[in-house]
Amino acid sequence: MNRTLGKVSIVGAGPGDPELITVKALRRIEQADVILYDRLVSEELLQYARPDARRIYCGKSPGLHHMSQQAIHRTLLQYASAGQHVVRLKGGDPLVFGRGGEEALFLQERGIDYEFIPGVTAAIGAAAGADIPLTHRGIATSFACVTASRAQPESGSDTGMIDAAGNAVRWDLLAQSVDTLAIYMGVSQLQQICSELVRYGLPPATPVAVIENGTTSVQRVLTGTLEDIARIAGAAQLGNPALIIVGEVVRIREQLQQIQQQARTMIG
């Protein structure tokens, strides 16, 4: 490696709660010359950066990108080529719908050293914050993470929806092969997602939870079924960021809440 070049650390910041970041990730923030950070990264984490570190916001929200992915690539290259240690700080995990692989390929092709530092992804963190196990003995032995970002009906397809990259979201396979579904970036398509899963064989009474701002102080959790969760979420004006969990494991949350309520009643 050319020692005049810098390095890029592609870092997962976790699902929202700043205390869920890893020790290694925190060290990279403290060491960074430049930090490119996303919308869902807690501002508290930036306080660990050196006072002289350059902070560059490059967040994306539905329909509004502060910086395009191509511009992010160019910025990473610009500072790393100048010998800087750059931290690309992403919400959740950089390799779970975080485009970390794209950035690594771009850098590697141009001779820039990089490293991946994993983070707690939303499916793990938000589910735990909502008291929902993704697997549970006797109920669920598998789970899948899927993105429904900007999914639209696919003309002439029997699978019903496509993702932002134009790939078919195989709700037909997911509905029949996985016990728990953790669906990212799908709250705006909630009714359509539920309809697709029912269409491909899941019972309308299948439990569903929608977790808004998971693991944060403003977290909201709504539960229902494939039949009524879209109405419930709409009435509550639930918005992004939100994670959808589909499966019988959602009932564990309800059981835990009942036990907690009984305990409070006994103490009271």
CA distances from 32 to 12, 46, 87, 102, 120 (A): 14, 11, 6, 21, 21
In terms of Cβ atoms closer than 10 Å to its own Cβ (0-12, 13-18, 19+), residue 154 is: middle
* Residue bearing the bigger pLDDT, 38 or 60: 38
Does the pLDDT at position 152 exceed 80? no
Q: Are 225 and 207 in contact (CB under 8 A)?
A: yes
Which residues are designated catalytic?
Answer: 38, 60, 185
pTM for the full predicted model: 0.89
Domain regions of the chain by residue span: 7-120, 123-255
pLDDT in tens, 49-81: 999 999 999 987 666 667 999 999 999 999 999
CATH homologous superfamily of 7-120: Tetrapyrrole methylase, N-terminal domain (3.40.1010.10)
Does the pLDDT at position 31 exceed 90? yes
pLDDT in tens, 209-222: 999 999 999 999 99
pLDDT of residue 267: 78
Q: For domain 123-255, which CATH number applies: 3.40.190.10, 3.30.950.10, 3.40.50.300, 3.40.50.450?
A: 3.30.950.10
Percentage of the chain exceeding pLDDT 90:
84
Overall size of the chain counted in residues: 268
Does the pLDDT at position 158 exceed 50? no
Does the pLDDT at position 268 exceed 80? no
